[in-house]
Amino acid sequence: MGGTPFVVIGGGPAGAVAAARLAQRGEAVIVLEKAAFPRFRLGESLLPQSLHVLEALGALDEVRARFLVKKGAQFHDDASSRATRFSFDGAFDNRYDYAFQVPRDEFDAILLARAAALGADVRHGWTVTRAIAAAGGGVTGVVACDPDGREHSVEARFVIDASGRDALFAHDGRATERLDGLENTALYAHVRGMAREEGDREGDVHIVLFDGGWHWVIPFKDGRTSVGAVVTRAWMRANGAAGGARGADARDVPDALFSKAVEASSAMSRLMKGAERLWPARAAADFSYRVGKPFGEGWVAVGDAGGFIDPLFSTGVHIAMWGAFEAVPAILEGTLPAWDGRVRAGADLFLAAVRGFYKGALQPYMFTSNPRTYLRRAITSMLSGDVFADTRWTRDMRERLVTIVGAGA
C-alpha cells in the first residue's frame, strides 16, 4: 500500500470496520483514535444483520468464541403485565438467526485489532482537532495532536469521520439537529448474580417498559449483566432530587436514580432480584440527533458521527457497522448519495418505530396475543436489523408506522 492514505477519525465499530474494509481492498489507511483501548462503551447488544460484516472482515469466528449468543428479544410491559418474545429465526431474512451480547471494551478491541491485522495503521492517543480545508472547498486531511501533544497535519486522500457522538465534522458545520421528544437520559451499571433463563433464551435481551421510560437487561458470557434505564426528561424532573439524591454527593445521584427507576418497575425489580451491582450506576445524556448531509467533497461521516437514534432497539452499533462497511465501496465508486439514501431510509424506519413505541402506538402490535404472521415477521425483521433493503415488508412497515401507528419520521 502506498500513496496518500485514507484517514479514519475514531477506532470504534464504524471506524474499525471502515479501516478494515479499506485495508482489505489494498488501500493505505490511518486510524486516529484519541482513547487507549480497551475502554468502556454502551451499545452492547448486536443485531443479526450485522454478522455478515463480521464474516466478511474475518472477525466472526473470534466473536463467536468470545461472546454469548443472542437468539431473541423479550419485551415486558409493566402497565399491562404483558410479555412477548421475538425469535430471530422468524425474520423474513433469517440467514443469521442469532447475534451476540458483547462487552464493548472487548468487542471494539477485536474489531480494531482486525483492522490492524489487515494492514491499517492504527494510532492510539491521537486527537483530531479540525479538518484541513482545500482552497476550492472540500477536505484534504486533518490536523491532529499526537500522544505527546505535538500537532501534525495529516494529508488524506479521503477522510472518514467516525468520531462517534463527538460528530466532529457535523458539529463544525452546524449540521446536527436534535430530534424532539427523544431527549432522554441513560442510567446504567453492570451487575452479577442476576437470574437467567436456560437454552436458547439465555442470551436474550430484555426490554422492560415502565412509567417514565424503559429498562434494558443484557447478559454476558462471563456472568455479568448490563442493566440500564432510559428515562424521559419529565421523569428526571420529577425524580431528580428523589430516591436519596437530595443532598447526596453528585457522584451518588445516578446510582440513587437508577435504584428508583428499578423500584418503579415490577418486572425489572423481579429480574434484578439477587443481583449485586459491580459499580455505582452512571448517567449519560441520550439525546437523539440527525445530520443534514453526512458527506461532502473529500469526507463522509459514519456511525454516530452521522446521526444517533435512541438505543431502544440496539441500533447504534448496527447502523455504524453496516453504514461504514457500505461506505467504502461508495467512496471508491463515487456513489455516496445513493449510500446516504439507503442509510437514511433504514435509520428513519428505526426512528419511526422508536417514536411509535414511546407514543404507545406500537405496543398493541407487539404484545397482541394472536399477532398476524406477516406483521410479526416484519417486526422481527426490524428487530434483527434488516432495514436497509428496499423490500415489500420495509415499505409496508414504514407506511404502517407513519399512517397507522402515527409515529412520523
- Tell me the domain boundaries of the chain: 6-72+91-173+288-404, 182-287
User: What percentage of the chain exceeds 90 in pLDDT?
Assistant: 79
CATH architecture of 6-72+91-173+288-404: 3-Layer(bba) Sandwich (3.50)
pLDDT at 245 exceeding the cut of 80: no
Distance CA 377, CA 398 (A): 14
Give 299's strand partners: 159, 296
What integer best gives the mean pLDDT of the chain? 92
182-287 has CATH 3.30.9.100 classification = yes
Which has the minimum average pLDDT: 59-73, 179-193, 229-243, 294-308? 229-243
pLDDT at 191 exceeding the cut of 70: yes
Which has the minimum average pLDDT: 131-135, 137-141, 175-179? 175-179
In this prediction, residue 406 carries a pLDDT of 58
Reference 23, options 56, 66, 61, 72; nearest CA is 56
**At 2, is the pLDDT very low, low, confident or very high (cuts 50, 70, 90)?**
low
Residue 154 main-chain phi, psi, to 5 deg: -115, 110
Q: Model's pTM, two decimal places?
A: 0.94
In this prediction, residue 405 carries a pLDDT of 56
Residue range 107-130: mean pLDDT, rounded: 98
pLDDT at 73 exceeding the cut of 90: yes
**At 346, is the pLDDT very low, low, confident or very high (cuts 50, 70, 90)?**
very high
**Identical fold, 6-72+91-173+288-404 and 182-287:** no
**At 409, is the pLDDT very low, low, confident or very high (cuts 50, 70, 90)?**
very low
Provide the greatest CA pair distance for the chain.
63
